[in-house]
Structure 1
Amino acid sequence: MGSVVISLDAELGWGFHDLADPPTERVEAGRRGWSVMLELFEEFDIPATWAVVGHLMLDDCDGVHADHPAPDGWFDRERTDWADREELRFGTDLVTDLLKSDTDHEFASHSFSHVLFGRPETDRELAVAELERSREIAGDWDQSIDSFVYPRNDIGHRDVLAAQGITTYRGTSPTRDGVRGLFDSAVRDQSMLVEPAVDEHGLVNVPASMFLFGFEGPARTVAESIWTDPMVKLARRGIDEAARTDGLFHMWLHPNNLTHERDDRRMRAILAHLERRRTATDLTVETMGDVACRVSGPSPVTERATASWS
């Protein structure tokens, strides 16, 4: 029985705050895209793993975070350019919408402040602080964290994830993004299915198959004018392959990728196809946490909770 996973990097401004010249259009699209994706998932009853930056769940802060061991200047934009842009720094309304959704989404972590775990300057102390703060805030919302998505897919400190009770993370995709991935799949007939596996830290690595917004700009416009949206074509191919096999197809995106209505149409077309294939076959839709349970069995925490009710 094949399955499909969709994961989202839910970050608002935190996905760009360390960049010298953040992409304005995407920065401003984060809230819109978040709401659109929630509506589409509810329409098709498709659960997803939402990896949320912990800072979004705060009501307010001083912008200093003096007790956080981040590098000097890490929170500068929060105190300067975005000091009056609370809608980029906080997202309690959006997280509430996510948790209240009728669709059974998985709440996951995207770190506290979008620290890049694979960078040399991110030492163990910082990695621990990012995860501890995320877990603390999640606890304030009566949420636990089992799954983790690395900011910018920059993997590091997996031992810290394990020590903090994380059970699974999104691993690096074995396939290429954009036009190169399209060539590999359509011309070279390369599979986009991935194999989840338990790593040396006891974590379940659920690799990404495909970034849904890897073919953009003028090339996308030309392709759509003479053919079809290449990313829709590629996603359908991956979904169909999963439906034919016992494999896993894992798509991912940021809500801020939905900057225009044509992006909404892309996601609607992909989800509609996924729903059709799920209805017509034994294809299932899973979250990253579902995959981790399937691959390694229930976590000790889950087992204890089950035992306490038996």
Structure 2
Amino acid sequence: MEETAIKVKSGGFVISLDFELNWGVHDVFKRGQYDENLYGVRHALPKILTLFEQYGIHATWATVGLLFAETKDEMAHYLRGIPVKYDQIRFAAHLQLANVGENEQEDSLHFGKSLIEAIICTPHQEVGTHTFSHYYCLENGQTEDNFRADLQATTMISADYIAPMKSIVFPRNQVNSSYFEACLEAGLVCYRGNEAHALYSPKKFTKKNRLLGAMKWLDSYVNITGNHLIRLEEMKNEGFVNVRSSAFLRPYCKRLWILEGLKVRRIKEGMLAAAKAGAFYHLWWHPHNFGKHTEKNLAMLEELLRYYRELQTKYNFQSYSMHEVALLCKQ
């Protein structure tokens, strides 16, 4: 993306998606348990892009670097250069190679270059990094040198394909401020931080608990922690710009269908508050969240995008990628 001047008058709507396929869930679900969602990405992702183009949405797709690979051998080559040794060995991406096919035609759960091409071909879409191997920056065993090697692998595998990446989303939202210097050295200029509330503070994956998850779930339907708006003046003096999250867009849940209206209303309230305050509202999710109940999830997204257009007309509420917000801060 060229660093052209961007003018902002009344805040904006920021969207980011964590694009990871099985590399993001192999340590959470048993093999095959989440396949419906993962296979569904092939259907859902192009439709998300169609909606983005229809409503003029600028978005950041934080992409796991392994998805750029064209062959299993290419994956193995780059993984050999990342000597990460988590104490919880199940986190390591290289252990998944035994389950990987030879290419994207054979294995749509671990390869994603054709989908990346679709993203690139859609106007106003930014490809950012979700690290190369879905790297966990707070888990025991890994080191800053390991993280630097992971960033380098992403740079190398994507160098001849896209412009240098400028935005990063830390997997599992494990933001590690000790690694910011490494990010800046890799050419990154911004990241998606967590909501500014103790409920969302970065944690090791092994430290998560059911009560915490239940509170986050409840906050998606009822405003417990606030709207988490982001203001330009908060970000302007940051060397590494924190385009903080405002909310996670939870997918449709058949068992809780009666609460869908509350969830959408909660997000709309945040969007409206941002538009009125001249602030930013940052919504995020994973493409695989739409892999199941795809049509209902797309209908929910379109309702939010229609509302965005209303706010755009009334308040000059614009759409921005993460990098575009960072460019505003650098002016």
* Structure-1 residue corresponding to 2:154: 134
Sort the Cα spacing of 1:159 and 1:273 in 2 relative to 1 into closer, same or farther, 3 A.
same
Secondary structure of residue in 1 paired with 2:72: coil
Range with bigger deviation, 170-179 or 242-251: 170-179
* Cα distance in 2 between the residues matched to 1:143 and 1:172: 26
Pick one of 245, 251, 254 that aligns with 1:208: 245
Partner of 1:296: 330
The amino acid that maps onto 2:240 is L
Shift of 1:170: 0.1
1:46·1:285 contact (CA, 8 Å) conserved in 2?
A: yes
Aligned length: 288
Between the aligned partners of 2:303 and 2:57, the Cα distance in structure 1 is: 13
What SS class does the counterpart of residue 7 from structure 1 fall into?
strand
> Could you tell me which amino acid in structure 2 is paired with residue 162 of structure 1?
L
* 2:209 counterpart residue number: none
Question: Could you tell me which residue of structure 1 aligns to residue 274 of structure 2?
Answer: 242
The structural deviation recorded for 1:154 is 0.9
Q: 2:265 maps to which residue?
A: 233
Are 1:163 and 2:192 counterparts? no
Aligned positions of 1:64-75 closer than 5 A:
64=76, 65-71=79-85, 74-75=92-93
CA contact (8 A) 1:3 1:284 kept: yes
SS of the equivalent of 1:108 reads strand
Q: Secondary structure at the match of 2:283?
A: strand
The answer (yes or no) to whether the contact 2:168–2:190 under 8 Å persists in 1 is yes
Structure 2 match to 1:4: 13
Letter aligned with residue 62 of structure 2: A
The equivalent residue for 2:223 is 184
Q: Is the contact made by 1:54 and 1:109 (CA closer than 8 Å) also made in structure 2? A: yes
Structure 1 residues 174 and 182: alpha-carbon distance in aligned structure 2, compared to 1, 3 A threshold: farther
Q: Is the 8 A contact 2:84 2:143 kept in 1?
A: no
CA shift, 1:287, in A, is 1.1
Tell me which amino acid in the other structure corresponds to 2:157.
I
Check the 8 A contact 1:147/1:288 in 2, yes or no.
yes
The normalised TM-score by structure 2 is: 0.79
The residue number in structure 1 matching 2:35 is: 24
Kindly state the Cα deviation for residue 20 of structure 1 after the two structures are TM-superposed. Answer: 5.1
Contact kept? 1:11, 1:30, Cα under 8 Å: no
Instruction: Quote the Cα distance in structure 1 between the aligned partners of 2:22 and 2:323.
Output: 26
Question: 1:170·1:206 contact (CA, 8 Å) conserved in 2?
Answer: yes
Contact 1:78 1:89 in 2 (8 A): no
8 Å CA contact 2:56, 2:319 repeated in 1 = no
The yes-or-no answer on 1:284 pairing with 2:318 is: yes
Q: In the TM superposition, what whole-angstrom CA distance separates every residue of 1:53-99 from its partner, at most 9, and x where no partner exists?
A: 11111111325432321336623553333436621111111111111
- Residues 216 and 159 (structure 1), Cα distance of their counterparts in 2 relative to 1, 3 Å cut: farther
Question: Structure 1-normalised TM-score?
Answer: 0.84
1:48 deviation in Å? 0.5
**CA apart distance, 1:144:** 0.9
Aligned equivalents of 1:200, 1:18: Cα separation in 2: 37
Instruction: Assess, with a 3 A threshold, how the Cα gap between structure 1 residues 193 and 4 changes in structure 2: closer, same or farther.
Output: same
1:256 is aligned to 2:288: yes
Separation (CA, whole Å) in 1 of partners of 2:238 and 2:56 = 34
The answer to whether structure 1 residue 269 and structure 2 residue 303 are counterparts is yes
The alignment's C-alpha RMSD in Å is: 2.4
Q: Deviations over 1:123-169 (max 9, x none)?
A: 11211011111111221203211110111111122221122121000
SS of residue in 1 equivalent to 2:139: coil
Q: Deviations over 1:8-36 (max 9, x none)?
A: 10111111123352533333333223222
CA contact (8 A) 2:228 2:245 kept: no
Pick from 98, 110, 121: which aligns with 1:100?
A: 121
User: Structure 1: which 5+ residue stretches go unaligned?
Assistant: 298-310
- In structure 2, C-alpha distance between the alignment counterparts of 1:60 and 1:151, rounded to whole Å: 23
Deviates more, 1:33-42 or 1:246-255: 33-42
Q: What CA distance in whole angstroms lies between the structure 1 residues aligned with 2:271 and 2:237? A: 30
Contact conserved, 2:84 with 2:141, CA < 8 A, in 1?
Answer: no
Corresponding letter in the other structure for 2:82: H
Deviation string, structure 1 residues 228-277 (Cα, Å, up to 9, x no partner): 2x222122111111221111111001111112121111111111111222
Paired residue type of 2:194 = T
* Aligned partners of 1:9 and 1:253 also within 8 Å: yes
* Separation in structure 1 between the aligned mates of residue 159 and residue 151 of structure 2, nearest angstrom: 12
